[in-house]
Structure formats: C-alpha cells, structure tokens
C-alpha cells in the first residue's frame, strides 16, 4: 500500500458502524485553560493507572516538596505517584475512589502549605542525545500514563520497540466523546510543547513517521498543530471525519492506514503505536523540565454546570472543588460522569479526587440523559449496523441475560470496546453495553476463580510433594540409623568375641 512505502497518508479509510451524537462541545470549547486555585486538601490515590498500585514512600507527618515521590511503582505494569504541591502528609489510609463503585482505595492525603516549593528537578537539555531506554526510564519515573483515559503506563508502550517492528506513531487527537474539549484546548494553546513531546516519543520508539489525527470539528487545533509541526516533514496533521468512536485507537489506525489490528491484538502488531496529545505534553515536561505528572486538564461541562470550563487541576483535588470554581450547579444533575457520556463512568458523589485518567467531569440534566424505559428487542438490527467492531450486540445481550458466557465470548465479547454505539441507536432503549460490561466482569470473576483453583491445586501438589519427600527422608534416616546400630552391634559382638578368645 502507498502509505507504507511513502510514509505519507494520502487517503482516509472508512470504518464500519459508528454513530453521530450531538457533540455538545460548544459549551466549553471556547473556554481557555485556567489554573484551578490551590485546594485545602489533596487526596492522592495510589492507583491511578492500569496495573499494580504504588507503594507508599512517605508516612503521616512527613513534609514533602512539590514533585517529590510519594509512592513507588510496583512491577513493570505500574506507575509512581508524586506530590502535586508542597505540604504535610496528614493521612496514609483509604478514601473513596474516582470510580462508580465508590469503594475506598489506598490514598495519601496531603495538606498544602501554600509555598508550592519544588523538589530539585533533573531536566535534560537535549532529550535526543539520550538512549531510547533512558527516555522510557524517565517517563516511567515521572509517573506518566495514558491521559486519554486508558491510564496504561506510557513507558511500557515506549519500550515496545524491543518487541515489535514499529514504523509509525499515531497521536489520537480525535477527542470524539461529546462535551470533552480538554485535548482541543491543549492542542490550541500548547501546540509547540505537544509537538516536542511527540517527537521525543517517536525518537524513543525508533520511528520516523508521525500522524496526528484530529476531528474536523476542531479546526483551530488542527491549524495550531500544523503550524507547530511545519518544520518537521515527517509529521502529518490529518483531519478526521466526525464519527464516533473515531477515538478508539484501533479504528483510528484503520481510518488513517487501512490496516486492521488483529482480534485481541495490539496496534503494535501492525507496526503502530498510539498515544494521546496530553501524554505527549507530559513527556515534554518530564524530559525538558524534569517535572513528574502532577496535574492534568479537565473539562467541566454539562447542562447542570453554571459555567463550563477547561481547568488545569492538581491531581487529588476533589471534584466538588472543580464544580465550585465553575459556579456550582444551575440545577441538580440527573447524572454525574467522569469522562465522556458514551464511555465514561458514573461518579458516586463529588467528594472523589481528580486522577490522571479523569479528562472530564460532566453534570448532565434530565433532558440530556435518556431515561426511557427498556422494552423488548424488535430485531431491527440497528445495533448491528452501528457496531464498529462488526459484532452482533442483540445476540450477545440475549446470551448475557441468560448467563451463557461461553456463547457471548464466542460471539466476540472480548472484541467489544464498550463504546456504547449499540445502546445509543437502540429504539427499545436496551442498555446493551451494560450487559456486555456485566458479562466481562463475570468472565473476569470466573477466570480469577479458576486461577485461584489452579493455584490452590498447585500449592496442594507442592505440599504433598514436600510431605512425601519428608517422609522418604525420615524413612531413609531411620533405615540408616538401623544399619548404623546393627553395624555397631556387630562390631561390639566381634570385639567381645575377640576378648573372650
């Protein structure tokens, strides 16, 4: 294909399915990024990423500086956590999570001292003089994760060069979820820094080709990124059609290149790595300024918000603080969501803290939320046409309701990206994606139970082997003692016989 030989994208490819929801971006798109004032307390969860939770490196009563390490990463798939400002640690315990469950998670509570005093930083004058492995190590030490919401540790992705033949870095600037405009504003206002971070990531990956995909409802962001990239001929800024879920990395890659990612595979399998613009900016700050990831831009929007805004927020700031800065609620929200309305998670209340993957806080009114009662499926197949993964949502949901997980899995449950397109178009208002998420949870529970069963069986077998070995050792020792006793007895008898002679 021409793309692979010329390293230039000259055409776009149509993806299957998708929907066209009202993007509702005008509520906040015109609002420049504001720095949220310092809160009174910061509740910093130790797991703001996919993988193992970080392990506390401080204790209650410690004074810490801005950017100081608060918790160490644990294992390869993990990320450290740093102090968003200077102050005193007033708690190392549990606090409600930024999650629909509202369950408490390990959290460090920091009381700011108002000095905002930085720890000694270690910036790099020329990141391109470093070895790629050193860049990945610095990104890991800075606690950078996927800022588009996936929260996968970014350094792990940068090290994919060791396992795959990579040729392209794709930057996902689609931001296709309704209401969200934080990436749009970031690309408009900090395009030069974002492009620098993109170039650093491309260098670390060992790729020359860079494609930045931005939906066509963000012309200012497209123009700003093109201007910032004008001196780098290997960077293309490409306008994308406005079609949800264009921000799904596999569908974005297919749109740009025509290449399909293997089922349950990675885009790296076809030589492509995908990152987010906010992640690129965090990489720029980590390398050029030595700063860890301690804040992020959050869109606060929805019909219930008095003054929708884009805010740069210290991690650990309570959601209520963001809402208060936006003038509070104009009416009681019918639904409070973290992220976008299609794939975001319900928030239990406004006490929960801002986290690395939280790109939006939406307070939606009853008019904005569909509360229609579910009715029987009319077999219209609208969900089949809308599914971007080519699945059969109506059949999957029927099997999920019946508890037939094997059938749901065979129908492609693990290929479902939970984008919600099927639920959006369903005239019967069936919450299809909720059935799929339930099925995925049940499947994970079964796998954990099977793993526990297998592990228990393995431990029992090891114990039995140890007991058998111990029994054999005891038997051999007893037999050895018997032989030694018999030998001594025979020697004594022989000696006695010799003496009597």
Mean pLDDT of all residues in 206-211: 96
Provide the percentage of residues in the chain whose pLDDT is more than 70. Answer: 98
- Separation between Cα atoms, residue 279 and residue 450, nearest integer Å: 36
Binding residues for [4Fe-4S] cluster: 377, 380, 383, 387, 416, 419, 422, 426
Mean pLDDT of all residues in 381-409: 93
How long is the chain?
501
Residue 404 CA neighbour count, 13 Å, CB half: 10
User: For tokens 């939280």, what's the residue?
Assistant: 358
Binding residues: 377, 380, 383, 387, 416, 419, 422, 426
pLDDT greater than 90 at residue 291 = yes
Nearest-10 Cα torsion for 445, 451, 455, 457: 90
Model confidence over 15-25: pLDDT tens digits?
Answer: 899 999 999 99
pLDDT greater than 80 at residue 409 = yes
Contacts of residue 412, defined as CB under 8 A and 6 or more positions apart, other chains included, come to 263, 389, 391, 392, 396
DSSP states of 230-258: TT-TTEEEEEE---BTTTSHHHHHHHHH-
Domain segments of the chain as ranges: 2-116+129-296, 390-442
Fold of 2-116+129-296: Rossmann fold (3.40.50)
pLDDT greater than 70 at residue 395 = yes
**Residues in a beta bridge with 385:** none
Mean pLDDT of all residues in 375-391: 94
User: How does residue 251 score in pLDDT terms, banded at 50, 70 and 90?
Assistant: very high
CA angle 110, 114, 118 (to 5 degrees): 80
pLDDT greater than 80 at residue 498 = no
Q: How far apart are the first and last CA of the chain?
A: 106
Q: Quick one: 450 exposed, middle or buried, by C-beta within 10 A (0-12, 13-18, 19+)?
A: exposed
User: How does residue 101 score in pLDDT terms, banded at 50, 70 and 90?
Assistant: confident
**Tokens standing for residue 146:** 């996927």
Q: What is the mean pLDDT of the chain?
A: 93
């Amino acid at each position: 294909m021409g793309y692979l030989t010329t390293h230039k994208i000259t055409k776009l490819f149509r993806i299957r399915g998708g929907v066209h929801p009202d993007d509702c971006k005008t509520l906040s798109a015109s609002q420049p990024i504001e720095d949220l004032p310092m809160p009174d307390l910061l509740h910093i969860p130790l797991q703001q990423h996919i993988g193992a939770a970080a392990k506390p490196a401080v204790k209650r009563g410690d004074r810490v500086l801005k950017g100081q390490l608060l918790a160490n990463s644990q294992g390869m798939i993990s990320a450290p956590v740093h102090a968003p400002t200077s102050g005193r640690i007033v708690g190392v315990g549990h606090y409600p999570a930024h999650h629909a469950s509202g369950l408490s998670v390990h959290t460090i509570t920091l009381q700011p001292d108002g000095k905002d005093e930085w720890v000694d930083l270690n910036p790099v004058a020329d990141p391109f003089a470093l070895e790629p492995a050193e860049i990945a190590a610095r990104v890991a030490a800075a606690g950078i994760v996927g800022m588009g919401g996936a929260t996968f540790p970014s350094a792990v992705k940068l090290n994919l060069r060791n396992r795959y033949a990579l040729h392209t870095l794709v930057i996902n600037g689609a931001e296709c979820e309704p209401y969200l405009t934080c990436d749009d504003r970031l690309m408009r206002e900090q395009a030069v820094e974002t492009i620098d971070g993109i170039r650093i990531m491309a260098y670390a990956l060992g790729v020359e080709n860079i494609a930045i995909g931005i939906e066509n409802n963000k012309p200012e962001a497209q123009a700003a990124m093109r201007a910032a990239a004008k001196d780098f001929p290997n960077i293309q800024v490409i306008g994308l059609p406005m079609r949800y879920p264009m921000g799904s990395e596999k569908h974005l890659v297919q749109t740009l290149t025509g290449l399909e990612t293997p089922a349950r595979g990675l885009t790296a399998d076809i030589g492509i790595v995908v990152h987010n613009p906010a992640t690129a900016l965090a990489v720029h700050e980590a390398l050029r300024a030595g700063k860890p990831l301690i804040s992020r831009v959050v869109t606060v929007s929805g019909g219930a918000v008095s003054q929708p805004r884009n805010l740069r927020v210290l991690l650990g700031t309570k959601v209520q603080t963001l809402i208060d800065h936006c003038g509070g609620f104009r009416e009681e929200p019918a639904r409070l969501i973290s992220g976008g309305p299609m794939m975001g998670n319900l928030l239990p209340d406004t006490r929960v803290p801002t986290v690395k993957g939280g790109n939006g806080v939406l307070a939606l009114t009853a008019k904005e939320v569909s509360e229609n009662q579910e009715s029987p499926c009319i077999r219209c197949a609208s969900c089949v046409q809308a599914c971007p993964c080519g699945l059969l949502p109506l059949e999957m949901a029927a099997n999920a309701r019946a508890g037939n997980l094997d059938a749901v899995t065979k129908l492609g449950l693990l290929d479902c990206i939970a984008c919600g397109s099927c639920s959006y178009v369903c005239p019967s208002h069936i919450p299809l994606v909720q059935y799929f998420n339930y099925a995925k949870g049940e499947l994970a529970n079964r796998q954990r139970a099977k793993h526990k069963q297998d592990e228990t069986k393995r431990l029992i077998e090891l114990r039995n082997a140890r007991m058998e070995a111990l029994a054999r050792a005891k038997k051999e020792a007893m037999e050895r003692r018997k032989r030694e006793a018999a030998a001594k007895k025979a020697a004594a008898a022989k000696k006695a016989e010799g003496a009597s002679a």
